[in-house]
Amino acid sequence: MDIVVKGRKTEVPERFRKHVAEKLKLEKIQKLDGKVISLDVEVSKEHNPRQADRSDRVEITLHSRGPVIRAEASAADPYAALDLATGKLEARLRKQHDKRHNRRGTGRLSAAEVADTVPGVAQLSADGTVIPTEAEDAVPTTRIGSLEVQGEGPLVVREKTHTAAPMTLDQALYEMELVGHDFYLFVDSETKQPSVVYRRHAYDYGVIHLESDPLAGAEPGGAGGALGG
């Protein structure tokens, strides 16, 4: 396996080249990945004085018959950057090595062992159909506020109750601007009705008043719609 050290817009001293050969332990790398072909180490330097703490950058590229693995790091000097990049490279090599080992190793479960090892996994009958579990048969019911929700639907309810002193429309507009919202719920001091003032376009505002309909009876109803209307 060859190690190629090169500089990008900077000179690489011979001392650093020897340090690279000592730092990148070939035996350890080949133990983690026996298909390694070559290692490329590129050194570059950032001349901006504001980035002096990471002026030197080292990038290590490992070429093998498998996927290319790359690790890079920056530090105040190339030796420290090399140490950081080498640590990242070894960690990625070890992760890939463990992944390959787990795929081939004895840790793989047979189809018959999956149901006993993995909780909540589906079980198959002799003809290959899924056997429903008790959890699937029973639909959970969750109470959120004053509502009952069956199953795990996307419904999310956030319930709040506020004590509000009646105020004029001008006061409601002022309060809405203070909190920075596009609408404000209040009790109108003149009509004693729950009302909403909202921002429309530019500096235009709108207001919605709610009053109960005595003819609605028990039929559900509301004042739904877009506030921007």
Taking only the tens place, the pLDDT of each residue in 72-96 is 999 989 999 999 998 888 888 888 7
Helix or strand (DSSP H, E) at 37: strand 36-45
**What's the pTM value of the predicted model, to 2 decimals?**
0.43
- Cα separation of 188 and 209, whole Å? 8
- Cα separation of 96 and 102, whole Å? 10
pLDDT, tens digit, 9 for 90 and up, residues 135-173: 444 556 666 666 665 555 555 556 667 788 899 998 988
Across the range 46-70, mean pLDDT stands at: 82
